[in-house]
Amino acid sequence: MLYEARLHSARFGGPRPVTPAKHLAIVACMDSRIDVFDLFGLAIGDAHVIRNAGGLITDDALRSLVLSQRVLGTRDVILVHHTDCGLQKISEDALQAELQAETGARPPYEFGAFDDVDAAVRRAVKRVRSHEFLPQRDHVRGFVYEVETGILREVR
């Protein structure tokens, strides 16, 4: 791992501005099959990328988006969910019950399990567009990346 970091520093293109060049913030699932930069043809420095399980619009994702827009100059938001997501394969109630049985407590958060990926994207877009602390809410788009084919499709 350290060797790979040395290789990176040898290819380092120099410092870049803190404001993303494309004024873009992307919230995407943490799934290792998704190369967010390649998917959108972006280079380092073009966009903020916020990742979590499911690409959900959690309070922390909203916090990051508010900072991205208000402090670091982004204007557009892209949300990326995907097919074959682990959150489609779990039961929220069953996982919560399992954790409570094992530890004696339920987590103070939900995992965000969902059945319909398109509906989850629409809910995420709606949550971003309704967040009062985001000054730029008109340019929010949601997508589903199909891990089986490599196709990225917009959800309307």
pLDDT tens, 103-148? Answer: 999 999 999 999 999 999 999 999 999 999 999 999 999 999 999 9
Q: CATH number of the domain that 129 lies in?
A: 3.40.1050.10
pLDDT band at 3; cut points 50, 70, 90 = low
Q: How many domains does the chain have?
A: 1
Q: Provide the residue count of the chain.
A: 156
Q: Is residue 12 part of a domain?
A: no
Q: Is residue 5 part of a domain?
A: no
Structural domain span for residue 104: 20-155
Prediction pTM value: 0.92
Mean predicted lDDT score pLDDT of the chain: 95
| Greatest alpha-carbon span in the chain | 51
How are beta strands 47-52 and 140-146 bridged, if at all? unpaired
